[in-house]
């Protein structure tokens, strides 16, 4: 027991650090913590610098693109300005030409207004100049010479002039009468019907064509079936309206009562 107490007292008086490992571990952790924070701070700083560099590059690219587009827009604006200047120049030239033309017209109008006597004197000069009148008139030179031989103002040749005038009027009337006038003509299509199917259609057509008149010209013909074996004769003709009419044709054709029952006008056209 005594020995145990003496050992405990000895250990109590002896300076021994039993917790040194714990303190060493705490000291290591203490020094490691600032170094880790500085590393993290260093990483954050490097990341910030990289981001700033990337932003700077982006800003440089944007500024370059903006300068290029601005230069293109500026070139387009310059081209437009030049085209507008050319158009303005051409318009000014047109306006100047119009002004010059208007000034010339004003001068001409003023001259015409100031000199009406010259305008009225021109017809008088034309009447006094026999050669000019002869060139402008549409009457033949021969008639003028013949008319100049006739004195229409009470000379001794009044009777001869009247006779000459009457002679010319008579010749003109005869010449006009000799000219052929327009003859009005018509094209007529007739339907000639027989009595029955036993009628001789060849003889019927001969009877129709035997009708002769001044201004009548027979044309083509054909047989058209009517029904029950009966056929009608359809014949065309050209007539002069003043000489031959449809009534005359019907009257002359229906005289052949043995072959013809009736005559109808199928078509009538003016030529």
138-162 average pLDDT score: 55
List pLDDT tens digits, range 93-145. 999 999 988 888 888 888 888 765 444 444 444 444 444 434 444 444 444 44
Listed in sequence order, the DSSP H helices in 115-228 are: 116-128, 130-136, 141-148, 158-178, 201-209
Higher pLDDT, 126 or 208: 208
pLDDT of residue 169: 85
Tokens at 219, concatenated: 């044309």
Question: Which range has highest mean pLDDT (14-18, 26-30, 159-163)?
Answer: 159-163
pLDDT of residue 17: 62
225-241 average pLDDT score: 92
Higher pLDDT, 47 or 231: 231
pLDDT of residue 266: 92
pLDDT of residue 174: 80
pLDDT of residue 139: 43
Question: Which range has highest mean pLDDT (36-45, 49-58, 90-99)?
Answer: 90-99
How many alpha carbons lie under 13 Å from residue 147 in its C-beta half-sphere? 7
Taking the alpha carbons of 19, 25, 29, 32 in that order, is the dihedral positive or negative? positive
pLDDT of residue 239: 93
pTM: 0.36
**27: confidence class by pLDDT, cuts 50, 70, 90:** confident
Higher pLDDT, 22 or 157: 22
Percent of all residues in the chain with a pLDDT value above 70, rounded to a whole number: 69
Higher pLDDT, 47 or 186: 186
pLDDT of residue 67: 67
215 phi-psi bin (left φ>0, alpha ψ -120 to 50, beta other): left
pLDDT of residue 155: 52
- 248 burial class (0-12, 13-18, 19+ CB within 10 angstroms)? middle
Mean pLDDT, the chain, rounded, equals 76
pLDDT of residue 116: 56
Closest C-alpha to 195, from 257, 251, 249: 257
pLDDT of residue 134: 42
Q: Is the pLDDT of residue 61 over 50?
A: yes
Residue pair 260/254 in contact by the 8 Å Cβ criterion: yes
**161: confidence class by pLDDT, cuts 50, 70, 90:** confident
């Amino acid at each position: 027991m005594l020995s145990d107490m003496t050992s405990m007292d000895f250990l109590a008086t002896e300076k021994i650090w039993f917790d040194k490992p714990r303190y060493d571990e705490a000291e290591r952790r203490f020094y490691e913590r600032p170094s880790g924070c500085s590393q993290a701070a260093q990483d954050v700083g490097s990341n910030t610098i990289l981001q700033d560099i990337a932003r700077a590059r982006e800003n440089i690219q944007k500024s370059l693109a903006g300068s290029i587009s601005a230069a293109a827009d500026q070139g387009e604006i310059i081209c437009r300005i030049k085209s507008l200047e050319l158009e303005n120049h051409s318009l000014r030239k047109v306006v100047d030409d119009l002004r010059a033309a208007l000034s010339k017209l004003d001068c001409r109008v003023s001259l015409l207004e100031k000199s009406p006597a010259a305008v009225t004197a021109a017809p008088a000069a034309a009447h006094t100049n026999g050669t000019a009148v002869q060139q402008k008139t549409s009457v033949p030179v021969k008639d003028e010479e013949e008319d100049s031989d006739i004195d229409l103002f009470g000379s001794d040749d009044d009777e001869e002039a009247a006779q000459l005038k009457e002679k010319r009027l008579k010749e003109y009337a005869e010449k006009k009468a000799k000219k052929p006038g327009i003859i009005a003509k018509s094209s007529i299509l007739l339907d000639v019907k027989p009595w029955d199917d036993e009628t001789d259609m060849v003889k019927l057509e001969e009877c129709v064509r035997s009708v002769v008149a001044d201004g009548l010209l027979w044309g083509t013909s054909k047989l058209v079936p009517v029904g029950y074996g009966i056929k009608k004769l359809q014949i065309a003709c050209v007539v002069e309206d003043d000489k031959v009419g449809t009534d005359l044709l019907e009257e002359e054709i229906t005289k052949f009562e043995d072959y013809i029952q009736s005559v109808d006008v199928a078509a009538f056209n003016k030529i």
